[in-house]
C-alpha cells in the first residue's frame, strides 16, 4: 500500500517527477491492477481494512482511533502478513505503521512485529517529519534517518 498516492503519480499511468524503477519493474513483470478502492479516506481505517482483508466497519472503525478499547475487535483479527508467514512468505513493512497509536516513543498497542510482519523500518505514528534526523525504528531499535526520507 502506498499511502496518499494518486493514480497518475506513477510514470506507468501518467507524468511523474519521481522515478520509481522498482515499482515500474513490478508493473512490467507482474500483475497490474488498474483499479483499487479504499474503505475509508483516512490512513488508520484504510490500513486496518487492507491488513485484514475486511471492511474496517465490520470491527467498528471509521476514523483514526487509537485506544485499545476502541480497537479491541481489530486487535482480535488475524492480519494478512501473519497468514503469509504461515504459508512460508517473508513479510516486512517500510514506512508508517500508524496502527498502535500516534507516539514515536513506544507502542500503544501491539506493533508490526507482533502482528505478523517479520521486519519493520519506519515511523510508528501518523505525524513524522521527513527531514534528515527524523526518528525512525528498525524493528524496535530507534535511529535517525541519514537523509531526507523520500530520497533515502
Measured between alpha carbons, how far is 52 from 2 in angstroms, rounded to an integer? 16
Task: State the Cα–Cα distance between residues 112 and 15, nearest whole angstrom.
Answer: 34
Question: How high is the pLDDT of residue 143?
Answer: 93
Which residues are designated catalytic?
43, 98
Answer yes or no: is pLDDT of 114 > 80: yes
Of residues 99 and 127, more confidence is placed in: 99
Instruction: Please report, rounded to a whole number, the percentage of residues in the chain having pLDDT higher than 90.
Output: 24
Q: What is the DSSP letter of 104?
A: S
CA torsion through residues 76, 81, 86, 91, sign: negative
> Which set of grid coordinates corresponds to residue 44?
488508520
pLDDT tops 90 at residue 132? yes
Q: So where are the chain's domains?
A: 37-144
Amino acid at each position: 500500500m502506498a499511502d496518499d498516492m494518486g493514480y497518475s503519480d506513477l510514470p506507468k499511468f501518467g507524468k511523474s517527477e519521481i522515478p520509481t524503477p522498482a515499482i515500474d519493474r513490478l508493473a512490467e513483470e507482474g500483475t497490474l491492477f488498474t483499479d483499487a478502492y479504499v474503505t475509508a479516506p483516512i490512513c488508520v481505517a484504510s490500513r486496518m481494512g487492507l491488513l485484514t482483508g475486511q471492511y474496517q466497519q465490520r470491527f467498528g472503525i471509521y476514523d483514526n482511533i487509537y485506544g485499545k478499547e476502541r480497537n479491541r475487535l481489530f486487535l482480535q483479527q488475524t492480519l494478512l502478513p501473519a497468514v503469509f508467514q504461515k504459508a512460508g512468505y517473508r513479510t516486512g513493512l517500510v514506512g508508517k505503521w500508524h496502527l498502535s497509536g500516534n507516539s514515536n516513543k513506544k507502542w500503544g498497542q501491539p506493533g508490526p512485529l507482533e502482528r505478523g510482519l517479520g521486519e519493520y523500518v519506519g515511523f510508528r505514528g501518523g505525524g513524522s517529519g521527513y527531514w534528515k534526523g527524523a526518528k525512525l525504528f528498525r524493528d524496535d531499535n530507534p535511529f535517525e534517518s541519514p537523509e531526507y526520507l523520500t530520497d533515502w
